[in-house]
Each structure stands twice: as structure tokens, then as C-alpha cells.
Amino acid sequence: MLIFNNKADLTAFLAPYKSDKSTIGFVPTMGALHPGHLSLLDKSIRENKLTVISIFVNPTQFNNAEDLKNYPRTLESDVEKIQGLSDDIVVFAPSVQEMYDGDTQSSTFSFGGLESQMEGSHRPGHFDGVGTIVRKLFEIVQPVNAYFGEKDFQQLQIVRKLVQISRLPVNVIGCPIHREPNGLAMSSRNERLNSREREQAALIYRTLNQVKEMFATENVQSITKFVESTFAAHQEFKLEYFEIAEEDTLLPVNERGNAKYRAFIAVLIGGIRLIDNISLN
């Protein structure tokens, strides 16, 4: 399996695929790969001639220096997990210097308000960082299809908007959330939880399932109070936000209508920040 560390070498390797119009699939990651990432790779392998996976911890999307410092970096084990999946995978694992040419500054984006909700309001500058690195990666790889997990649903919508406003010819494909046996959404951050915290974190998905049941008969205000009281009763958790929002606009709703809705949540346990969401339709 080929591993590229610089843009020029990857571009040269991809040139023949682009010239004969072979489909290139792309799975951007920050490493610490888990079965959710591997499911994205599997889908890309089945749907494209070649798959590129990037492994890059992007500094500009972290608004917390300690979080960036502690983010797991496991390139060697990541490569081991990828090997054997297919002969048609290449890895792009650049340095920060390679991606940013010594200038680790984000571009500023307007995503039509998508960036102002939930994660955007709690992580200033986060989506500017996401938009900056995703656009850079799209311009380097020039994929036909790009695959993103729905655990980061707001990010998925942001990337779709980025493609639209930047007029990039990329098909952005959202893929279902992969969960651990207890329901916890798979995330690279889960590796920082101890075994007790990992089991306790199952409360997040249990609560979201209860929210989905309640949404059929109860109003948003009563559902929100239920979630707040649920986490207040468990001192190991700190609820950062809970929102019910329209999927397309991500705007919070007070009353349900005919749109598609999704519940979003962010909590901290043991100082580790976890997010999840669930479709309510």
C-alpha cells in the first residue's frame, strides 16, 4: 500500500486516474481509525476505482490547545488497519507544514448560517478550520466521491455547503453512524475514555432513543427538560447542549412541522467531549 506525505507525489500518482476519468473516492480522517472509518473505506472501495484516505490532525479546527495536544496520533496502527482491505487504496499523511506552508491560518467562510449553530457556537472558528482543510484536500485529491460519517452531521452539512459555494465537482456522501455494542457512537475520542466512562457514556444514545419516542407525542420544550434533567441526575456528565433542529438548515425548532428533524447533543465525561445525533423522522 502506497503512503504519500507530500502533495506533489500524490498529485503525480493520481494524474493517470484523472486523465482516463477513473472514479476516485476520498475518505478524509484525522486518524485513530475505528470501524466507522473502515465502513467509509469499504463503501468507497465498492463505488470507486481508487480510494484515497487522508490521515491528518488539522490544527486549525481546534479551538482548545489542550484538545489538539491530546488528540490521538496513531499512524502506524492506522496503516495496519487499512492494509489488506484492498489493493486500490492509497494513504495521504502530510505534515502540518506540507498542508499549510508554514501559515496555519484558516480562511473565513460563510456557510449560510449552518456554522452558527451548535458546534459553531461552542467552538469558535471550528468550521472555518474544517472548511479550510477540506477545501485544500479536495483541491489536491480532486475526488469524484467523498465520504463522511453522520456522527458529525453538522460538519457533513457544512461540507455540502462548501462544495456548493466553492463550485467543487465533488459528490458528498453521508454514511450511517457506527456504534459500539452499548450504543455509544464510535469516535476517535472514545479511546481517551476509561472502561467505566465508556460504559457510562451509553446513556447518551439511550437518551436520544427516548427523545425519538417522545418526539411523536410531546413538544420540544418538555423533551428538552427531560434531557436536561436526565444528565443533571448523573454527576459524571456535563451537558453542553441539546437541540432539536431541522436537518437542512440546522435551525432549532420549537414546534414540529413537515420538515426532517434531528436531535443533537454534546456532553463531557471525564473531560472528554462527545457528540451524537439521531434522526427523528
Query: How far apart, in Å, are the Cα atoms of 191 and each of 55, 61, 261?
Result: 17, 20, 30
Active site residue 178: no
What backbone torsions phi and psi does residue 225 show, to the nearest 5 degrees? -65, -40
DSSP 74: -
Specify which residues 24 forms β-bridges with: 50
Nearest to 31 by CA among 67, 69, 66, 81: 81
Q: Which of 37, 122, 178, 234 is the catalytic position?
A: 37
Secondary structure (H, E, C), 179-235: ECCCCCECCHHHHHCCHHHHHHCHHHHHHHHHHHHHHCCCCHHHHHHHHHHHHHCCC
Full DSSP string of 6-42: SHHHHHHHHHHHHHTT--EEEEEE-S---HHHHHHHH
Specify which residues 264 forms β-bridges with: 243, 277
- Return the active site residues: 37
